[in-house]
Structure 1
Amino acid sequence: MAAGSLLDVAPAQLFPEQVTNALGLPGVIGEAVGALIAAFLVGNIMLAFTGVAGPWAKRKITAAFTDRIAVDRIGPFGLLIIPAAAVQLLAKELIIPEGADRPSYDLAPLVLPASAMLGFSVIPMGQLGPLNLQLADPEVGFALTFAFASIASISLVMAGYASNNKYSLLGGLRAVAQNLAYEIPLIVTAMSVVIFTGSLRTSEIVAAQQQALFTVAGVTVPSWFAIVNPFAFGLFVVANLAEIGRNPFDIPEAPTEIVAGYQTEYSSSYFVLFYLGEFLHIFLGGAILTLAFLGGASGPGPASIGFVWFVVKVWAFFLFTQWCRSALPRVRIDQLIEIGWKGMLVLSFANLILTAVLVGVIAS
């Protein structure tokens, strides 16, 4: 294949392979360069989403829900608040609390966004023209997404412990308790998707949802797992909210109780990294939900615009989290633990068993 435009690359290839072939780079070094360029491009797409969501979209959406006026004076539609907020936060003094346990204090803000970025490495984001925006497609890709997302809890514990602050420590401990209470139901519910597809490969999970479920009045309804198993979809949404720490499960931060929890003692660039990681995990949660239950990047129209549908679904989940933030009160930590262990865990195993029985009956 001739080097030059990326538009000459076959869409069946993964994105790093497309970049490598388009640039005409040979051998292992070429593959490494192609992978780095592809990861850089995908990473910047996610960072752009976060840059819009944090300083601007979050404020505009919350204002709309609460009948207030959000940022509207800094640039058109208030969009220049994005660079203004970045400059404001980065210009603040970085204050290290006395008695902080370094390097844990310094590493914690890096681990949180890094874990989210790793999660996107195996998410199939669909096609944008001929480009197939998926970095890797290992056989255990679905399991890897949850493994990478779970690293976030380590970051919160590190930050809480290393800050030498009792409120930060409480936030870190709450993060562990919340993770234990909801990570198991989340994964068990996700296993029902694996039972349906018979694979942990993310591309195959999306492909399994492309088949037609039924047709009504000429309209074909796809076999998205949210339609096939709405009970599992509901369980996954609730557990996912707890996983990303959104209302009513924003226990690790809980501003009215523990100031800001694990990030109380962080400022300047460190705070920006935590803020960035928080929103990256919201989008990662939306991407996993889209992958597992909403047909991935599938939607009306040609496959070449699949990335557009992926973006629409992920941003719809972000909108839902902001509605939850404005409409739902926070539960207490003891209530959260009870809901997780006594409610969600039991329901997730019940869903898994029923799914296995259903698939077994259909297969036989």
Structure 2
Amino acid sequence: MTLSDTIAGLLGLNANDPLQFFIAAIIASAIVGTFMLVNVAIAGPWAKRKITAAFTDRIAVNRIGPFGLMIIVADAVRLLSKELIVPEKVDRPAWDLAPLIIAGSALFGFAVIPMGSGVQVADPEVGLAYVFAVASLASIGLVMAGYASNNKYSMLGGLRAVAQNLAYEIPLVLTGVSVVLFAGTLRMSEIVAAQTETLVTIAGIGIPSWYAFVNPFAFVLFLVANLAEVGRNPFDTPEAPTEIVAGYQTEYSSVYFVLMYLGEFIHIFLGGAIITTIFLGGPTGPVLPGIVWFLIKIWAVFLFTQWARSALPRVRIDQLIEIGWKGMLVLSFANLVLTAIIVGVIA
């Protein structure tokens, strides 16, 4: 039973009536969206700084509120109160829509992610295909932002972003398809259910059949491709402050900059949610509730992305594209073929 069904039952709505079920789905979406936005609000202004400071032996935010947590509120007030500066000769409709597309595309992806027992807005048969499709819409927003800003650095950032996403999105999807071959389904809840068995028992400890253990090569490929998709080192060339100021987001300020920044972190958490679902058993785990395990796993992925940001040097754009097309694409096809052979032999 999905969260939409549960809410419909609690409110006495008829789940078979399209309008009433739509109301329940909107409420469920608002709950899940708010839940993820709270995590992003903690991660962006506060956790990112604390984690980076720990990696680089520096002191992070610690003055505003306990542990510096009130920096979240201070940053929100500071950024939202700034003047929204609109550069001359921008393509205004595209310039206005780009931040909304970048942030919204990631939020739509959480609709099919199982976060715990009954905590899932919808569970369509094509769940994994849906989440890849809506996440890829961010590429349109990045190109729109770069083109519409009427700034050569923004334009370069937008071109880099779409080139990077094309180079790494194909390996990302192909690696996801290898999981589908194992699970035999695109439905997210069934992919999670397929990972609940015990893979092997060592010294009395059962190792779960998470696809990260079943196919660690695919797991590593997906992690690397995900870093490129969310623009974390060594794949942050679309923003590259030492080369192109801030890339596609150079001309954005005030609430629009907040949306761009928010979109970046929502996509990081969506990437973590996808990795958690298809490789790390989703919300399954001992003792603790499923939603707690889900949070632990997506925050672990976030921690990995922040480690990469602090530890790995940026690669040049030509190197980045070469890694994607000549390295990741070949390896992802090899992984897909090998997985098909293994599944065929076992079946």
TM-score higher than 0.5 here?
yes
Give the equivalent residue in structure 1 for 2:76.
Answer: 86
**Structure 1 partner of 2:292:** 308
Question: What's the offset of the Cα at 1:338?
Answer: 0.5
Question: What displacement does 1:30 show?
Answer: 2.5
TM-score normalised by L of structure 2: 0.98
The structure 2 residue matched to 1:199, chosen from 160, 169, 185, is: 185
> 1:124: which partner in 2?
114
Which SS does the other structure have where 1:103 is aligned? helix
| Deviation at residue 353 of structure 1 after TM alignment | 0.5
Aligned partners of 1:85 and 1:111: how far apart in 2?
23
Q: What residue is the counterpart of 2:311 in the other structure?
A: 327
Alignment of 1:201-216 (within 5 A): 201-216=187-202
User: Structure 1 CA distance, aligned partners of 2:205 and 2:189?
Assistant: 25
Q: Which residue of 1 aligns with 2:133?
A: 147
Paired residues, number? 345
Distance 1:112 1:251 in 2: 17
Greater mean deviation of Cα atoms: 36-45 or 20-29: 20-29
Q: Equivalent residue for 1:10?
A: none
Structure 1 CA distance for aligned equivalents of residues 171 and 25 of structure 2: 34
- Unmatched runs of 5 consecutive residues or more in structure 2: none
Question: CA offsets, 1:316-340, max 9 Å, x none?
Answer: 0101111111000001100001000
- SS in structure 2 at match of 1:124: coil
1:216, distance to aligned residue in structure 2 (A): 1.6
Shift of 1:177: 0.5
1:72 alignment partner, SS class: coil
What secondary structure does 1:213 align onto? Answer: strand
Give the Cα–Cα distance (whole angstroms) in 1 for the partners of residues 286 and 87 of structure 2. Answer: 53
The CA distance in 2 between the partners of 1:333 and 1:122, in whole Å, is 33
Instruction: Report the 3-state secondary structure (helix = DSSP H, G, I; strand = E; otherwise coil) of the residue aligned with 2:90.
Output: coil
State the AA in 1 paired with 2:8. T
TM-score normalised according to structure 1 size: 0.94
* 1:14 equivalent in alignment to 2:24: no
DSSP 3-state at the match of 1:247: coil
Identity of aligned residues (%): 71
In the alignment, structure 1 segments of 5+ residues that lack a partner are 1-12
Q: What amino acid sits opposite 2:302 in the alignment?
A: F
Q: Cα deviations across residues 215-274 of structure 1 (Å, max 9, x unaligned)?
A: 122211110000000001010100010011111101110111100000000000000000
Aligned to 1:358: 342
Aligned to 2:250: 264
Q: CA deviation at 1:28?
A: 3.3
Q: What amino acid is the match of 1:353?
A: V
Q: Distance in 1 between matches of 2:151 and 2:123?
A: 42
> C-alpha separation between the residues in 2 aligned to 1:311 and 1:106?
32
Correspondence for 2:152 among 166, 169, 189: 166
Aligned: 1:74 with 2:70: no
Residue 345 of structure 1: how far off its partner (Å): 0.5
